[in-house]
Amino acid sequence: MIPSAALESRIAVRERDPRPNPGPRLETVYRPARPLALYATVAVFQRGPGDPAQAWHAGVIWRAVRTPHGVASLALRQMGDGSVRAAAWGPGREWAITQAPALCGAEDDDADFDPSLHPLIADSHHRHPGLRLGRGDLLFDALVQSITEQKVTAIQAFAAWRRLVTWYGERVPGPTPKPMFAPPTIDGWRRIPSWAWHRAGLEPPQSRTIVEAARRGDSLVRAVETCPADRREAILTSLPGIGPWTAAETRIRAFGDPDAVSVGDFHLAHQVGYALTGSRVEDDGMLELLAPWAGQRQRAIRYILASGVSEPRRAPRLHPEDHRAR
């Protein structure tokens, strides 16, 4: 039996939690060396419109993060001259401010990328000069997000993420436009009770994978963060329940990996094939089409998605199944 009363009590407590004391505000101005489209670059980290860890409000991107030094809220606003004003609150504010340029793509290197190899990508590159690949530098959060999105619709995954972070995360300080929550600690993910995963709408295979990853969390993070980039996938996929798709999605979000390709995605191969050839392809065909951009395949994908070209819908949307009543 699922203790729904306990869950409702927990939600009620969270809703009446006072805003934490923000402490001093830390500010900086990031002046990118090249054009930057802030929203297009950073919005990819938001998991749906109700994400408790990231929001867009009145021209400001707000993020709730759990840094190595504690939680923090971060506000990013792009100014008329292209610079980005950043402000952060909370015990992790110094880390958040220091990391903000990387989030905005400061470390993104596209020197080896040749958009002229396909007219659609060349056009998208021309129309989106400020698109960058940002990095979040929070590996375990990126891994959990990727696991929650395995083999389900985006609606289901985003809802599960929203519930779990709100119930078990930590409210961040600062003048956020709504109550915002940093994800749980690694040990916090491990300790979430089985009934809560179910009530959040996450399937047992995903919850087991997250718990098992959390059991090795600290050593996993150290191993992946300190190894060469070409070893990250092997380390991630050595864990049960984590395959190439999950590893690629994690690398994209945590490191801004310019070459990661999410093989096994339900839609991606079809989108790439239709955009580049006018016809659907499967994963092998997608990899063949992306081969000219070896080392920069994720960047090519990002420009394909930014182009707006997509295959016409052939069937009704998949209706998500809500298993929580089972």
Q: What is the pLDDT of residues 177-226, one digit of tens each?
A: 999 999 999 999 999 999 999 999 999 999 999 999 999 999 999 999 99
What is the CATH number assigned to the segment(s) 139-306? 1.10.340.30
Backbone angles phi, psi at 32, to 5 degrees: -65, 145
Domain extent listing, the chain: 25-127, 139-306
Percent residues over pLDDT 70 in the chain: 90
Buried b / exposed e over 122-144, threshold 16 CB at 10 Å, is eebbeebebbbbbbbbbbbbbbb
Which one-letter DSSP state was computed for residue 307? T
Q: Residue 20's pLDDT is what?
A: 80
Q: What is the pLDDT of residues 120-157, one digit of tens each?
A: 999 999 999 999 999 999 999 999 999 999 989 999 99
CA gap 121, 302 in Å, rounded:
9
pTM above 0.85, yes or no: yes
Q: What is the pLDDT of residues 248-281, one digit of tens each?
A: 999 999 999 999 999 999 899 999 999 999 999 9
Class of domain 25-127: alpha beta
Q: What is the pLDDT of residues 29-57, one digit of tens each?
A: 999 999 999 999 999 999 999 999 999 99
Beta bridge partners of 62: 55, 75
Mean pLDDT of the chain: 92
Q: Helix (H, G, I), strand (E, B), or coil: what is residue 30?
A: strand
CA gap 76, 87 in Å, rounded:
7
Closest to 40 measured CA to CA, from 58, 61, 65, 24: 61
